[in-house]
Amino acid sequence: MLRTLVLASNNAGKLKEFGQLLSRVGFDVHPQGEFNVPEADEPYFAFVENALTKARHAARLTGKPALADDSGVCVNALQGSPGVLSARYAGEPKSDAENNRKLIADLAKHNDKSAYYYCVLVFVRHADDPQPVIADGSWHGEIIAEPRGEGGFGYDAHFLLPDLGKTAAELTSLEKNTLSHRGQALRTLVEKLR
């Protein structure tokens, strides 16, 4: 019998991706919205602190094990920005188009266009779990000024993978899930949970 696991998100794509792999290790993944859990604040500058905060929040309000992720794009020439602020880099309201516009403008005067997507996943057995299970992954590429591709979201159309000659937005969902920072982190987490 599968145990209920609360995903500290209501993102349908994450729910599907996480649900498929985590069912193999005994979990039935449900979005926090099913339990009327509001989004947690993300006040920290480190991905791991935000993910831990979201996981504990969901576990505390549901009494069930919880999983949270925090991810973003980190640009080396910008000292790791946008980083944890990736979704709101250009401010509120959240806008992928505005975030991309700001990133391209901020990077224009730099020669180094290298960047990486980073994801950290935190699993807690209960809200006060003293030993959360943590897994992370990174996906290296470079930022290009002109967008390419129709898939993905966020910065994907500007995130070039030089070895493949494609942006993240030009990959199939299977390719992206195999290569991406989130895919790497999820596979590591599954192995740890086994």
Residue ranges of the domains in the chain? 3-189
Mean pLDDT of 140-146: 98
pLDDT value at position 173? 86
Query: Is pTM beyond 0.75 here?
Result: yes
Res 51 pLDDT > 80? yes
With cut-offs at 50, 70 and 90, classify the pLDDT of residue 2. confident
Q: Tell me what percent of the residues of the chain surpass a pLDDT of 90.
A: 86
CATH class of 3-189: alpha beta
Mean pLDDT of 140-152: 95
- More confident position, 50 or 18: 50
The question of whether 96 is a catalytic residue gets the answer: no
pLDDT value at position 21? 85
Q: What is the mean pLDDT of the chain?
A: 95
pLDDT value at position 98? 97
Mean pLDDT of 134-140: 98
pLDDT value at position 54? 98
Catalytic option among 28, 69, 70, 129:
70
Mean pLDDT of 33-38: 97
Res 96 pLDDT > 90? yes
pLDDT digits (tens, 9 = 90+) for 104-116: 999 999 999 999 9
Mean pLDDT of 25-48: 95
Res 13 pLDDT > 90? no
pLDDT value at position 141? 98
pLDDT value at position 157? 97
Res 1 pLDDT > 80? no
- The secondary structure of the chain, three-state, reads CCEEEEECCCCHHHHHHHHHHHHHHCEEEEEHHHHCCCCCCCCCCCHHHHHHHHHHHHHHHHCCCEEEEEEEEEEHHHCCCEHHHHHHCCCCCCCHHHHHHHHHHHHCCCCCCEEEEEEEEEEECCCCCCCCEEEEEEEEEEECCCCCCCCCCCCHHHEEECCCCEEHHHCCHHHHHHHCHHHHHHHHHHHHHC
Mean pLDDT of 145-174: 95
